Amino acid sequence: MERREDRHPDVLPGAAVVDRVRRALAKVTGQALGPYQSAVVRIGFAGTWLFFLLCEFPDRHQLYGPDGPWSWRLAERLVASNDAFTVLLWSSSAFWFELVYAVALLASALLVLGWRTRATSVVFMVGVLSLQNRSVFMGDGGDNVIHLMAVYLVLTRCAQVWSLDARRARRRGSASAGAAGPVLWGVLGAVLAYGAVTGRFGAGWLAAFAALWAGPALWWAADRHERPGAGRGEHERSGGADGEPAARRAGEGRAFLDVLANLLHNAGMLVIMAEVCLIYATAGWYKIQGSRWQDGTALYYPLRLDYFAPWPELSDVLAGSGVLVMLLSYGTVAVQVAFPFTLFNRRVKNVLLALMMLEHAGIAVLLGLPFFSMAMIAADAVFLPTGFLVWAGATVARTRLPGRLSPGPRTGPGPGPSPGPRTPGPRTPGPRTPAGPEPVEPDGAVGAGGAGS
């Protein structure tokens, strides 16, 4: 008798569907996907915010401080009405503003380097929200993107590669090793306690920050019990009511935290990708409705504004060519509208991704909006192919460390490798791979990372 699946070859058997679902769940819960993409997003947004704070340092008092047109009282009334979060309203003193600005700078630099990334990502988010919510009319589209991504980065394990946390994990076996993590955890706990006692936090923010602070403690405890030889005698002597060793219970606790951290990371990366698609889709469809975009003259007008002309001669050349203005206007709309629909075609997606990054680079040069362009390029980086990122990382590593192309130890005293091995016998070199550092697990706490984070 002819089987049902033979009659309908396009319909997968039930067992195959269940197996695919099982493998998909195992992949989502078993690993933090996109380690290189999340690292690029981390470096891109933290670097953009750091660059912005440094460039605006001379005018910081007028932008976000006590000398700004948006006074402290006006900001207090607005925040009370919309429940936005900013620690700058904890005090109106100039010292408090300088302290918050300095901490925001430091957190941005540390997040670029990937040092105790989970904790610094939370402090980075606090700095972004505090400054932007203090003076809401000082931002632009780039600030809005940084505002959102600062929140999403807290959920991700964005220091698996290209970070000091990853290097610490390789050298010391755990990213939470060292005394800096517990000290940082204690300092942040003291700040949280002060804000809770004085009523500085709303109920929602207090619960969120309490979870972000408690997560590292759970991770640190599980990590300490999971280390080989840590308290082995005590683990062997103690057991649960069912006779289960404490070491096994600790391992199960660590596995549970790993699964939860992977789920949060993958959900955060999915939200970042959806946010980028939403930005381009809404921008493109709104442009279609504009008459200037429909007739292909939209880009002519900003090119003629002195405010958006850092290079007037170049702007005049472009604005003087009607054909070029029309092609750029129609091309911008076409790329933005089409991009979300090309995600399932890798080659087309990569072409449009390169075009969008070039578009933002042109906006930075022609219209004088470098921070907006840097923020959008950092957001676009979440779609960069892994092979390209691995190649770029290997290229940077070779550029920075000439003569050290392999991770193995040097066998000769000179600047280059010695002609022979340390032990006698023929030397059989292994196959060289262009891959960068393997993704490690520098920070795995729930929502806030390891205790050392």
Mean pLDDT confidence for 313-341 = 92
Residue 10 has a pLDDT of 53
Mean pLDDT confidence for 115-136 = 94
400-420 pLDDT tens trace: 655 444 344 444 444 444 444
Q: How big is the CA angle at 355 (ends 352 and 359), to the nearest 5 degrees? A: 135
**Most confident of the ranges 19-33, 350-364, 415-429:** 350-364
Flag whether pLDDT at 79 surpasses 50: yes
Flag whether pLDDT at 249 surpasses 60: no
Flag whether pLDDT at 278 surpasses 70: yes
Mean pLDDT confidence for 252-280 = 91
Residue 233 has a pLDDT of 41
Residue at 151: amino acid letter: V
In contact, 441 and 172? CB cutoff 8 Å: no
- What's the Cα-to-Cα distance from 294 to each of 279, 286, 326, 341, 362, rounded to whole Å? 20, 11, 10, 21, 21
Residue 12 has a pLDDT of 53
pLDDT band, residue 9 (cuts 50/70/90): low
Separation CA 345–CA 351 (nearest Å) = 10
Flag whether pLDDT at 256 surpasses 80: yes
Exposed, middle or buried by CB within 10 Å (0-12, 13-18, 19+), for 171?
exposed
Flag whether pLDDT at 65 surpasses 50: yes
Flag whether pLDDT at 250 surpasses 60: no
Separation CA 238–CA 235 (nearest Å) = 5
Exposed, middle or buried by CB within 10 Å (0-12, 13-18, 19+), for 385?
middle
Its pTM stands at 0.81
Mean pLDDT confidence for 376-396 = 93
90-124 pLDDT tens trace: 998 999 999 999 999 999 999 999 999 999 999 99
- What's the Cα-to-Cα distance from 170 to each of 109, 150, 185, 420, rounded to whole Å? 22, 27, 22, 27
Flag whether pLDDT at 395 surpasses 60: yes
Mean pLDDT confidence for 14-30 = 83
Mean pLDDT confidence for 34-57 = 96
Residue 424 has a pLDDT of 43
Q: Provide the greatest CA pair distance for the chain.
A: 86
The residue with greater pLDDT, 443 or 164, is: 164
Residue 159 has a pLDDT of 93
pLDDT band, residue 13 (cuts 50/70/90): low
Question: What rounded mean pLDDT belongs to the chain?
Answer: 81
Please give the helix or strand (H or E) that residue 405 lies within, else none.
none
Residue 71 has a pLDDT of 87
Mean pLDDT confidence for 164-190 = 88
Residue 274 has a pLDDT of 95
Percent of the chain topping pLDDT 70? 79
137-148 pLDDT tens trace: 887 778 899 999
Residue 263 has a pLDDT of 94
Residue 292 has a pLDDT of 92
Instruction: Take residue 45 and report the two structure tokens written for it.
Output: 């947004």
Q: Which of 331, 382, 340, 381 is nearest to 359 (CA)?
A: 331
Mean pLDDT confidence for 32-61 = 95
- What's the Cα-to-Cα distance from 200 to each of 99, 151, 206, 214, 319, rounded to whole Å? 17, 19, 9, 19, 52
- Lowest-confidence segment of 85-99, 165-179, 305-319, 438-452 by average pLDDT: 438-452
202-238 pLDDT tens trace: 888 999 999 999 988 888 887 777 654 444 444 444 3
Separation CA 84–CA 205 (nearest Å) = 10
DSSP secondary structure string for all residues of 200-236:
-S-HHHHHHHHHHHHHHHHHHHHHHHHSTTTTHHHHH
Mean pLDDT confidence for 169-194 = 88
Flag whether pLDDT at 434 surpasses 70: no
In contact, 128 and 108? CB cutoff 8 Å: no
Separation CA 304–CA 337 (nearest Å) = 26
Residue 400 has a pLDDT of 66
Flag whether pLDDT at 443 surpasses 90: no
